[in-house]
A and B are shown apart, each in its own frame.
Chain A
Protein backbone atom coordinates (compact mmCIF):
# COMPACT_ATOMS: atom_id res chain seq x y z
CA UNK A 1 0.00 0.00 0.00
CA UNK A 2 1.43 3.33 -0.98
CA UNK A 3 1.75 6.28 1.35
CA UNK A 4 -0.45 9.19 0.28
CA UNK A 5 1.53 12.40 -0.12
CA UNK A 6 1.90 15.39 -2.42
CA UNK A 7 4.52 13.36 -4.27
CA UNK A 8 2.23 10.36 -4.87
CA UNK A 9 -0.55 12.71 -5.96
CA UNK A 10 1.77 14.39 -8.45
CA UNK A 11 3.13 11.08 -9.76
CA UNK A 12 -0.38 9.73 -10.31
CA UNK A 13 -1.52 12.97 -11.92
CA UNK A 14 1.11 12.39 -14.61
CA UNK A 15 -0.59 9.14 -15.56
CA UNK A 16 -4.07 10.65 -15.46
CA UNK A 17 -4.97 9.13 -12.06
CA UNK A 18 -5.54 5.78 -13.75
CA UNK A 19 -2.96 3.80 -11.80
CA UNK A 20 -3.93 4.32 -8.16
CA UNK A 21 -3.74 0.94 -6.42
CA UNK A 22 -6.69 -0.37 -4.40
CA UNK A 23 -6.87 1.17 -0.95
CA UNK A 24 -7.00 -2.18 0.83
CA UNK A 25 -7.53 -5.77 -0.28
CA UNK A 26 -10.88 -7.52 0.08
CA UNK A 27 -9.86 -10.50 2.20
CA UNK A 28 -11.34 -13.99 2.48
CA UNK A 29 -11.39 -15.60 5.92
CA UNK A 30 -8.59 -17.80 7.21
CA UNK A 31 -9.50 -20.75 9.44
CA UNK A 32 -8.55 -18.98 12.68
CA UNK A 33 -7.40 -15.67 14.12
CA UNK A 34 -6.16 -14.39 17.46
CA UNK A 35 -8.95 -11.81 17.51
CA UNK A 36 -12.13 -11.52 15.47
CA UNK A 37 -13.99 -8.21 15.53
CA UNK A 38 -17.66 -8.39 14.56
CA UNK A 39 -18.77 -5.25 12.72
CA UNK A 40 -16.70 -3.23 10.26
CA UNK A 41 -17.87 0.23 11.19
CA UNK A 42 -15.59 2.94 12.49
CA UNK A 43 -15.53 1.43 15.99
CA UNK A 44 -14.70 -2.12 14.85
CA UNK A 45 -12.14 -1.17 12.20
CA UNK A 46 -10.56 1.28 14.62
CA UNK A 47 -10.29 -1.42 17.28
CA UNK A 48 -8.54 -3.71 14.78
CA UNK A 49 -6.17 -0.90 13.85
CA UNK A 50 -5.27 -0.12 17.48
CA UNK A 51 -4.85 -3.83 18.28
CA UNK A 52 -2.28 -4.02 15.50
CA UNK A 53 -0.60 -0.66 15.95
CA UNK A 54 -0.52 -0.35 19.75
CA UNK A 55 -0.51 -3.93 20.99
CA UNK A 56 1.18 -5.79 18.14
CA UNK A 57 -1.78 -8.15 17.65
CA UNK A 58 -1.95 -8.37 13.87
CA UNK A 59 -3.60 -11.77 13.37
CA UNK A 60 -6.99 -10.05 13.39
CA UNK A 61 -10.09 -10.23 11.21
CA UNK A 62 -12.93 -7.73 11.01
CA UNK A 63 -16.16 -9.42 9.87
CA UNK A 64 -19.02 -7.42 8.40
CA UNK A 65 -22.44 -8.64 7.29
CA UNK A 66 -22.89 -5.88 4.72
CA UNK A 67 -20.32 -3.51 3.33
CA UNK A 68 -17.67 -1.68 5.29
CA UNK A 69 -18.94 1.46 6.98
CA UNK A 70 -22.48 0.84 5.69
CA UNK A 71 -24.18 0.78 9.08
CA UNK A 72 -24.40 3.65 11.51
CA UNK A 73 -20.92 4.88 10.54
CA UNK A 74 -22.39 5.91 7.19
CA UNK A 75 -25.76 7.00 8.57
CA UNK A 76 -25.03 9.67 11.17
CA UNK A 77 -24.73 13.45 11.16
CA UNK A 78 -20.97 13.37 11.91
CA UNK A 79 -21.10 15.62 14.97
CA UNK A 80 -18.12 15.37 17.33
CA UNK A 81 -18.27 16.89 20.82
CA UNK A 82 -17.47 15.98 24.42
CA UNK A 83 -19.58 18.33 26.55
CA UNK A 84 -21.19 15.57 28.63
CA UNK A 85 -22.27 16.22 32.20
CA UNK A 86 -20.89 13.33 34.24
CA UNK A 87 -17.20 12.90 35.01
CA UNK A 88 -17.06 9.40 33.49
CA UNK A 89 -18.69 10.51 30.25
CA UNK A 90 -16.61 13.66 29.96
CA UNK A 91 -13.44 11.58 30.27
CA UNK A 92 -14.69 9.03 27.74
CA UNK A 93 -15.74 11.50 25.05
CA UNK A 94 -12.83 13.86 25.63
CA UNK A 95 -10.47 10.93 25.13
CA UNK A 96 -12.09 10.49 21.73
CA UNK A 97 -11.78 14.18 20.85
CA UNK A 98 -8.08 14.02 21.80
CA UNK A 99 -7.63 11.18 19.32
CA UNK A 100 -9.68 12.92 16.61
CA UNK A 101 -7.13 15.72 16.74
CA UNK A 102 -4.25 13.77 15.24
CA UNK A 103 -6.21 11.11 13.39
CA UNK A 104 -5.70 12.24 9.80
CA UNK A 105 -1.93 12.34 10.24
CA UNK A 106 -1.83 9.05 12.10
CA UNK A 107 -3.87 7.21 9.48
CA UNK A 108 -2.33 9.03 6.49
CA UNK A 109 -5.94 9.56 5.43
CA UNK A 110 -7.85 12.82 5.55
CA UNK A 111 -10.84 12.34 7.85
CA UNK A 112 -11.63 16.04 7.42
CA UNK A 113 -12.00 16.72 11.13
CA UNK A 114 -13.15 20.32 11.28
CA UNK A 115 -13.26 22.01 14.68
CA UNK A 116 -15.92 24.49 13.66
CA UNK A 117 -17.63 24.56 17.06
CA UNK A 118 -20.89 23.07 18.33
CA UNK A 119 -23.44 25.60 19.58
CA UNK A 120 -26.29 24.29 21.74
CA UNK A 121 -29.22 26.65 21.95
CA UNK A 122 -31.19 27.41 25.10
CA UNK A 123 -34.84 28.29 24.54
CA UNK A 124 -36.23 28.58 28.06
CA UNK A 125 -35.17 29.25 31.62
CA UNK A 126 -34.71 25.57 32.33
CA UNK A 127 -32.36 25.23 29.33
CA UNK A 128 -30.34 28.25 30.49
CA UNK A 129 -29.92 26.84 33.98
CA UNK A 130 -29.08 23.30 32.91
CA UNK A 131 -26.64 24.49 30.21
CA UNK A 132 -24.83 26.68 32.71
CA UNK A 133 -24.60 23.71 35.04
CA UNK A 134 -23.17 21.73 32.14
CA UNK A 135 -20.66 24.45 31.34
CA UNK A 136 -19.40 24.56 34.92
CA UNK A 137 -19.22 20.75 35.16
CA UNK A 138 -17.37 20.59 31.84
CA UNK A 139 -14.86 23.24 32.81
CA UNK A 140 -14.12 21.45 36.08
CA UNK A 141 -13.36 18.39 33.96
CA UNK A 142 -11.11 20.34 31.61
CA UNK A 143 -13.63 20.19 28.74
CA UNK A 144 -14.01 23.50 26.93
CA UNK A 145 -17.53 24.93 26.93
CA UNK A 146 -18.65 28.52 27.28
CA UNK A 147 -21.85 30.52 27.62
CA UNK A 148 -22.91 32.76 24.75
CA UNK A 149 -25.53 35.53 24.85
CA UNK A 150 -28.11 35.56 22.03
CA UNK A 151 -26.14 38.33 20.28
CA UNK A 152 -22.92 36.31 20.54
CA UNK A 153 -24.78 33.28 19.15
CA UNK A 154 -25.98 35.37 16.20
CA UNK A 155 -22.45 36.64 15.55
CA UNK A 156 -21.11 33.08 15.66
CA UNK A 157 -23.91 31.66 13.49
CA UNK A 158 -25.40 34.41 11.28
CA UNK A 159 -28.36 32.41 9.84
CA UNK A 160 -29.78 32.16 13.36
CA UNK A 161 -32.97 34.11 14.10
CA UNK A 162 -32.73 35.54 17.63
CA UNK A 163 -35.82 37.75 17.55
CA UNK A 164 -37.82 37.56 20.77
CA UNK A 165 -41.16 37.20 18.98
CA UNK A 166 -40.44 33.52 18.36
CA UNK A 167 -42.37 30.71 19.92
CA UNK A 168 -39.00 29.33 21.06
CA UNK A 169 -36.75 32.40 21.38
CA UNK A 170 -32.99 31.90 21.62
CA UNK A 171 -32.06 32.81 25.20
CA UNK A 172 -28.39 31.97 24.78
CA UNK A 173 -26.23 29.02 23.99
CA UNK A 174 -23.37 26.81 25.09
CA UNK A 175 -20.43 26.68 22.70
CA UNK A 176 -17.82 23.97 22.58
CA UNK A 177 -15.25 25.46 20.26
CA UNK A 178 -13.15 22.30 20.06
CA UNK A 179 -16.10 20.29 18.77
CA UNK A 180 -17.08 19.95 15.14
CA UNK A 181 -17.61 17.44 12.37
CA UNK A 182 -15.60 14.90 10.38
CA UNK A 183 -16.16 12.99 7.16
CA UNK A 184 -17.79 9.76 8.33
CA UNK A 185 -16.89 7.52 5.37
CA UNK A 186 -13.26 8.61 5.51
CA UNK A 187 -13.08 7.49 9.12
CA UNK A 188 -14.11 3.94 8.18
CA UNK A 189 -11.92 3.91 5.07
CA UNK A 190 -8.93 5.41 6.84
CA UNK A 191 -9.07 2.87 9.66
CA UNK A 192 -9.66 0.04 7.18
CA UNK A 193 -6.66 1.00 5.10
CA UNK A 194 -4.38 1.55 8.08
CA UNK A 195 -5.46 -1.73 9.67
CA UNK A 196 -5.11 -3.71 6.42
CA UNK A 197 -1.63 -2.27 6.02
CA UNK A 198 -0.70 -3.83 9.37
CA UNK A 199 -2.04 -7.22 8.31
CA UNK A 200 -5.67 -7.14 9.45
CA UNK A 201 -8.15 -9.05 7.25
CA UNK A 202 -11.33 -7.15 6.45
CA UNK A 203 -14.06 -9.58 5.41
CA UNK A 204 -17.26 -8.08 4.01
CA UNK A 205 -20.59 -9.70 3.13
CA UNK A 206 -20.06 -12.30 5.82
CA UNK A 207 -22.82 -12.25 8.45
CA UNK A 208 -22.14 -13.93 11.77
CA UNK A 209 -24.71 -16.66 12.38
CA UNK A 210 -23.47 -18.06 15.67
CA UNK A 211 -20.90 -17.83 18.44
CA UNK A 212 -19.24 -21.16 19.29
CA UNK A 213 -18.26 -21.74 22.90
CA UNK A 214 -16.14 -24.54 24.33
CA UNK A 215 -16.83 -26.85 27.25
CA UNK A 216 -15.28 -24.29 29.65
CA UNK A 217 -17.67 -21.62 28.35
CA UNK A 218 -14.96 -19.62 26.60
CA UNK A 219 -15.35 -18.57 22.99
CA UNK A 220 -13.86 -20.76 20.25
CA UNK A 221 -14.90 -18.72 17.23
CA UNK A 222 -17.81 -17.55 15.13
CA UNK A 223 -20.05 -19.35 12.67
CA UNK A 224 -20.45 -17.20 9.58
CA UNK A 225 -21.95 -17.32 6.10
CA UNK A 226 -18.47 -18.19 4.89
CA UNK A 227 -17.98 -21.01 7.40
CA UNK A 228 -16.52 -21.33 10.87
CA UNK A 229 -13.77 -18.89 11.84
CA UNK A 230 -11.77 -19.75 14.94
CA UNK A 231 -10.90 -16.99 17.40
CA UNK A 232 -9.25 -16.84 20.80
CA UNK A 233 -10.99 -13.55 21.47
CA UNK A 234 -14.05 -11.92 19.92
CA UNK A 235 -14.85 -8.21 20.07
CA UNK A 236 -18.43 -7.31 19.20
CA UNK A 237 -19.00 -3.83 17.84
CA UNK A 238 -22.24 -4.39 15.97
CA UNK A 239 -24.29 -1.31 16.94
CA UNK A 240 -28.03 -1.99 16.48
CA UNK A 241 -27.49 -5.73 16.11
CA UNK A 242 -25.29 -6.13 19.21
CA UNK A 243 -27.97 -7.81 21.29
CA UNK A 244 -28.56 -10.34 18.47
CA UNK A 245 -24.88 -11.35 18.53
CA UNK A 246 -24.94 -11.45 22.33
CA UNK A 247 -27.97 -13.77 22.21
CA UNK A 248 -25.92 -16.10 20.00
CA UNK A 249 -23.38 -16.32 22.83
CA UNK A 250 -26.18 -17.01 25.32
CA UNK A 251 -26.23 -13.55 26.88
CA UNK A 252 -29.20 -11.24 27.42
CA UNK A 253 -28.31 -7.58 27.16
CA UNK A 254 -29.93 -4.39 28.44
CA UNK A 255 -30.34 -2.99 24.93
CA UNK A 256 -33.19 -1.90 22.69
CA UNK A 257 -32.76 -0.94 19.04
CA UNK A 258 -34.57 2.06 17.59
CA UNK A 259 -34.63 3.72 14.16
CA UNK A 260 -32.85 7.07 13.98
CA UNK A 261 -33.16 9.25 10.89
CA UNK A 262 -31.10 11.94 9.25
CA UNK A 263 -31.45 13.90 6.04
CA UNK A 264 -29.60 16.30 3.77
CA UNK A 265 -30.77 19.22 1.68
CA UNK A 266 -29.80 20.15 -1.84
CA UNK A 267 -26.24 21.55 -1.84
CA UNK A 268 -25.82 25.31 -1.54
CA UNK A 269 -22.90 27.71 -1.16
CA UNK A 270 -21.25 27.93 2.26
CA UNK A 271 -23.71 29.61 4.60
CA UNK A 272 -23.57 27.67 7.84
CA UNK A 273 -20.24 28.02 9.68
CA UNK A 274 -20.75 25.72 12.68
CA UNK A 275 -22.91 22.97 14.14
CA UNK A 276 -26.09 24.00 15.91
CA UNK A 277 -28.03 21.71 18.20
CA UNK A 278 -31.30 22.64 19.76
CA UNK A 279 -32.53 19.91 22.04
CA UNK A 280 -35.71 21.59 23.22
CA UNK A 281 -37.11 21.83 19.70
CA UNK A 282 -35.24 18.82 18.26
CA UNK A 283 -33.03 20.40 15.62
CA UNK A 284 -29.48 19.33 14.77
CA UNK A 285 -27.86 20.98 11.77
CA UNK A 286 -24.54 21.61 10.07
CA UNK A 287 -23.34 22.06 6.50
CA UNK A 288 -21.16 19.49 4.80
CA UNK A 289 -18.19 20.46 2.65
CA UNK A 290 -20.29 19.40 -0.35
CA UNK A 291 -22.73 22.15 0.61
CA UNK A 292 -25.64 20.06 1.83
CA UNK A 293 -27.30 20.96 5.10
CA UNK A 294 -26.98 17.85 7.26
CA UNK A 295 -29.94 17.50 9.60
CA UNK A 296 -30.46 14.98 12.34
CA UNK A 297 -33.92 13.89 13.45
CA UNK A 298 -35.04 12.07 16.58
CA UNK A 299 -35.59 8.36 17.11
CA UNK A 300 -38.88 6.65 16.45
CA UNK A 301 -40.59 5.49 19.60
CA UNK A 302 -40.66 1.75 18.92
CA UNK A 303 -38.09 -1.06 18.65
CA UNK A 304 -37.20 -1.70 15.02
CA UNK A 305 -34.46 -3.09 12.78
CA UNK A 306 -36.00 -1.72 9.59
CA UNK A 307 -33.34 1.01 9.01
CA UNK A 308 -36.09 3.48 8.20
CA UNK A 309 -38.29 5.72 10.27
CA UNK A 310 -41.60 7.53 10.01
CA UNK A 311 -42.07 10.73 8.04
CA UNK A 312 -43.68 12.62 10.91
CA UNK A 313 -40.38 12.46 12.81
CA UNK A 314 -38.65 14.21 9.91
CA UNK A 315 -41.47 16.75 9.61
CA UNK A 316 -41.12 17.58 13.30
CA UNK A 317 -37.38 18.23 12.91
CA UNK A 318 -37.80 20.34 9.79
CA UNK A 319 -40.48 22.44 11.49
CA UNK A 320 -37.94 23.20 14.22
CA UNK A 321 -35.22 24.04 11.66
CA UNK A 322 -37.56 26.46 9.85
CA UNK A 323 -38.47 28.08 13.16
CA UNK A 324 -34.87 28.76 14.19
CA UNK A 325 -33.52 29.40 10.69
CA UNK A 326 -36.32 31.00 8.63
CA UNK A 327 -33.72 31.52 5.89
CA UNK A 328 -33.90 27.77 5.13
CA UNK A 329 -37.67 27.64 4.66
CA UNK A 330 -37.46 27.23 0.90
CA UNK A 331 -34.65 24.68 0.90
CA UNK A 332 -35.53 21.32 -0.58
CA UNK A 333 -34.48 18.12 1.08
CA UNK A 334 -32.58 15.71 -1.10
CA UNK A 335 -32.18 12.42 0.76
CA UNK A 336 -33.15 10.90 4.08
CA UNK A 337 -32.11 7.64 5.64
CA UNK A 338 -32.35 5.67 8.86
CA UNK A 339 -29.98 3.72 11.04
CA UNK A 340 -30.63 1.30 13.89
CA UNK A 341 -29.28 2.57 17.19
CA UNK A 342 -28.81 0.37 20.26
CA UNK A 343 -29.92 2.22 23.36
CA UNK A 344 -29.15 1.27 26.97
CA UNK A 345 -31.43 2.13 29.90
CA UNK A 346 -29.04 4.87 31.11
CA UNK A 347 -28.06 6.06 27.60
CA UNK A 348 -24.37 5.35 28.22
CA UNK A 349 -22.39 2.80 26.27
CA UNK A 350 -21.38 -0.70 27.39
CA UNK A 351 -17.68 -1.19 26.79
CA UNK A 352 -15.80 -4.00 28.46
CA UNK A 353 -15.68 -7.72 29.12
CA UNK A 354 -18.76 -9.95 29.22
CA UNK A 355 -19.57 -12.96 31.43
CA UNK A 356 -18.35 -15.18 28.55
CA UNK A 357 -14.54 -15.58 28.67
CA UNK A 358 -12.93 -14.19 25.52
CA UNK A 359 -15.99 -12.20 24.48
CA UNK A 360 -15.72 -8.40 24.61
CA UNK A 361 -18.36 -5.85 23.78
CA UNK A 362 -18.61 -2.28 22.60
CA UNK A 363 -22.27 -1.33 22.21
CA UNK A 364 -25.08 0.82 23.51
CA UNK A 365 -23.81 4.04 21.97
CA UNK A 366 -27.38 4.93 21.11
CA UNK A 367 -27.76 8.11 19.12
CA UNK A 368 -24.21 9.37 19.67
CA UNK A 369 -21.60 6.80 18.72
CA UNK A 370 -19.85 8.53 15.85
CA UNK A 371 -18.18 11.17 18.00
CA UNK A 372 -16.64 8.44 20.14
CA UNK A 373 -15.22 6.41 17.24
CA UNK A 374 -11.46 6.71 17.92
CA UNK A 375 -11.92 6.62 21.68
CA UNK A 376 -14.21 3.58 21.67
CA UNK A 377 -11.91 1.80 19.22
CA UNK A 378 -8.84 2.53 21.33
CA UNK A 379 -10.51 1.40 24.56
CA UNK A 380 -11.97 -1.75 23.00
CA UNK A 381 -8.50 -2.65 21.70
CA UNK A 382 -7.04 -2.08 25.17
CA UNK A 383 -9.77 -4.17 26.82
CA UNK A 384 -9.22 -7.04 24.37
CA UNK A 385 -5.42 -6.91 24.53
CA UNK A 386 -5.17 -6.68 28.33
CA UNK A 387 -8.33 -8.66 29.17
CA UNK A 388 -9.41 -5.85 31.49
CA UNK A 389 -11.07 -2.48 30.94
CA UNK A 390 -9.00 0.69 30.72
CA UNK A 391 -9.62 3.10 33.64
CA UNK A 392 -11.59 5.33 31.24
CA UNK A 393 -14.07 2.59 30.29
CA UNK A 394 -14.06 0.76 33.64
CA UNK A 395 -17.24 2.61 34.76
CA UNK A 396 -18.98 1.60 31.50
CA UNK A 397 -18.95 -2.17 31.92
CA UNK A 398 -22.02 -4.40 31.95
CA UNK A 399 -21.85 -4.88 35.73
CA UNK A 400 -23.24 -1.41 36.37
CA UNK A 401 -26.77 -2.64 35.64
CA UNK A 402 -26.48 -5.11 38.51
CA UNK A 403 -24.63 -2.89 40.97
CA UNK A 404 -26.85 0.08 40.19
CA UNK A 405 -23.94 2.43 39.44
CA UNK A 406 -25.60 3.79 36.31
CA UNK A 407 -24.18 6.72 34.38
CA UNK A 408 -27.48 8.33 33.75
CA UNK A 409 -26.85 10.43 30.67
CA UNK A 410 -30.50 10.03 29.64
CA UNK A 411 -31.26 13.37 31.17
CA UNK A 412 -27.73 14.71 31.19
CA UNK A 413 -26.24 14.01 27.77
CA UNK A 414 -27.17 17.50 26.63
CA UNK A 415 -29.32 15.87 24.01
CA UNK A 416 -32.99 14.96 23.83
CA UNK A 417 -33.80 11.26 23.75
Chain B
Protein backbone atom coordinates (compact mmCIF):
# COMPACT_ATOMS: atom_id res chain seq x y z
CA UNK B 1 0.00 0.00 0.00
CA UNK B 2 1.19 3.50 -0.80
CA UNK B 3 2.06 5.83 2.05
CA UNK B 4 1.00 9.39 1.37
CA UNK B 5 2.28 12.51 3.12
CA UNK B 6 -0.59 14.86 3.87
CA UNK B 7 0.84 18.40 3.66
CA UNK B 8 -1.84 19.71 6.02
CA UNK B 9 -1.50 17.06 8.75
CA UNK B 10 2.24 16.75 8.04
CA UNK B 11 1.98 13.00 8.48
CA UNK B 12 2.65 10.01 6.26
CA UNK B 13 -0.50 7.88 6.31
CA UNK B 14 -1.70 4.78 4.38
CA UNK B 15 -3.49 5.20 1.07
CA UNK B 16 -6.74 3.89 2.61
CA UNK B 17 -7.21 7.24 4.38
CA UNK B 18 -7.15 9.11 1.07
CA UNK B 19 -9.26 9.41 -2.04
CA UNK B 20 -7.81 10.22 -5.43
CA UNK B 21 -9.40 13.26 -7.05
CA UNK B 22 -8.06 13.41 -10.60
CA UNK B 23 -5.47 15.48 -12.40
CA UNK B 24 -4.38 18.72 -10.71
CA UNK B 25 -4.01 22.26 -12.06
CA UNK B 26 -7.04 22.10 -14.37
CA UNK B 27 -8.55 25.55 -13.94
CA UNK B 28 -12.22 26.05 -14.58
CA UNK B 29 -12.63 28.54 -17.44
CA UNK B 30 -13.34 32.09 -16.27
CA UNK B 31 -16.16 32.52 -18.75
CA UNK B 32 -17.53 29.11 -19.79
CA UNK B 33 -20.17 30.51 -22.15
CA UNK B 34 -17.44 32.15 -24.25
CA UNK B 35 -15.75 28.83 -24.94
CA UNK B 36 -15.93 26.96 -28.23
CA UNK B 37 -17.02 23.32 -28.20
CA UNK B 38 -13.40 22.25 -28.70
CA UNK B 39 -12.17 24.30 -25.75
CA UNK B 40 -14.97 23.03 -23.56
CA UNK B 41 -14.24 19.41 -24.53
CA UNK B 42 -10.57 19.99 -23.72
CA UNK B 43 -11.41 21.34 -20.27
CA UNK B 44 -13.91 18.57 -19.48
CA UNK B 45 -12.36 15.49 -21.03
CA UNK B 46 -8.77 15.81 -22.21
CA UNK B 47 -6.26 14.62 -19.65
CA UNK B 48 -2.47 14.38 -19.73
CA UNK B 49 -2.29 10.71 -18.68
CA UNK B 50 1.53 10.80 -18.75
CA UNK B 51 3.85 7.86 -18.42
CA UNK B 52 6.02 9.40 -15.70
CA UNK B 53 5.53 12.55 -13.62
CA UNK B 54 1.86 13.20 -12.87
CA UNK B 55 0.35 16.15 -11.02
CA UNK B 56 -2.75 15.02 -9.19
CA UNK B 57 -5.20 15.88 -6.45
CA UNK B 58 -5.91 13.80 -3.38
CA UNK B 59 -8.28 14.35 -0.48
CA UNK B 60 -7.42 13.18 3.03
CA UNK B 61 -10.94 11.79 3.44
CA UNK B 62 -10.38 9.98 6.75
CA UNK B 63 -8.08 12.64 8.18
CA UNK B 64 -8.28 16.40 7.83
CA UNK B 65 -10.71 16.04 4.87
CA UNK B 66 -8.73 18.65 2.92
CA UNK B 67 -7.75 18.49 -0.73
CA UNK B 68 -4.08 18.79 -1.64
CA UNK B 69 -1.85 18.24 -4.68
CA UNK B 70 0.76 15.58 -5.25
CA UNK B 71 3.52 14.72 -7.72
CA UNK B 72 3.74 11.00 -8.41
CA UNK B 73 5.55 8.84 -10.94
CA UNK B 74 2.93 6.76 -12.77
CA UNK B 75 5.40 4.01 -13.69
CA UNK B 76 6.87 3.35 -10.24
CA UNK B 77 3.81 4.71 -8.32
CA UNK B 78 6.29 6.57 -6.07
CA UNK B 79 5.21 9.88 -4.58
CA UNK B 80 7.78 12.57 -5.27
CA UNK B 81 6.16 15.22 -3.08
CA UNK B 82 2.85 16.68 -1.93
CA UNK B 83 1.92 20.34 -1.58
CA UNK B 84 -1.06 22.46 -0.61
CA UNK B 85 -3.77 23.61 -2.99
CA UNK B 86 -3.11 27.07 -4.36
CA UNK B 87 0.67 26.60 -4.35
CA UNK B 88 2.56 26.76 -7.64
CA UNK B 89 3.19 23.59 -9.58
CA UNK B 90 6.73 22.45 -8.61
CA UNK B 91 9.41 23.10 -11.23
CA UNK B 92 11.05 20.19 -13.11
CA UNK B 93 14.29 20.94 -11.18
CA UNK B 94 12.54 20.58 -7.82
CA UNK B 95 10.94 17.32 -8.97
CA UNK B 96 14.25 15.95 -10.26
CA UNK B 97 15.93 16.87 -6.97
CA UNK B 98 13.18 15.24 -4.86
CA UNK B 99 13.08 12.12 -7.07
CA UNK B 100 16.77 11.33 -6.68
Contacts and interface: CB of A to CB of B under 8 A. Distances in A.
Interface residues of B, number: 24
Contact of B47 (A256, A312, A402): A256
Interface stretch (B5-13, B25-33, B38-46, B84-92): B38-46
Interface string A300-338: 011111100011100000000000000000000000000
Contact of A310 (B15, B37, B38, B74): B15
B75 interface: yes
A391 interface: no
A253 interface: yes
A255 interface: yes
Interface in B63-100: 72, 74-77
Interface in A236-250: 241, 243-244
15 contacts: A241-B51, A243-B49, A255-B49, A256-B23, A257-B74, A302-B56, A303-B49, A304-B77, A305-B75, A306-B76, A306-B77, A310-B2, A311-B1, A402-B38, A402-B41
A255 B45 CA distance: 8
Contacts of A312: 1, 15-16
A257 B49 contact: yes
Interface of A: 241, 243-244, 252-257, 301-306, 310-312, 345, 401-404
A244 B23 CA distance: 16
B19 to A, nearest CB: 7
Nearest to A311: B1
A301 B74 contact: no
Nearest to B15: A310
B46 A305 contact: no
Contacts of A244: 49, 51
A306 B75 contact: yes
A253 B42 CA distance: 9
B45 A304 contact: no
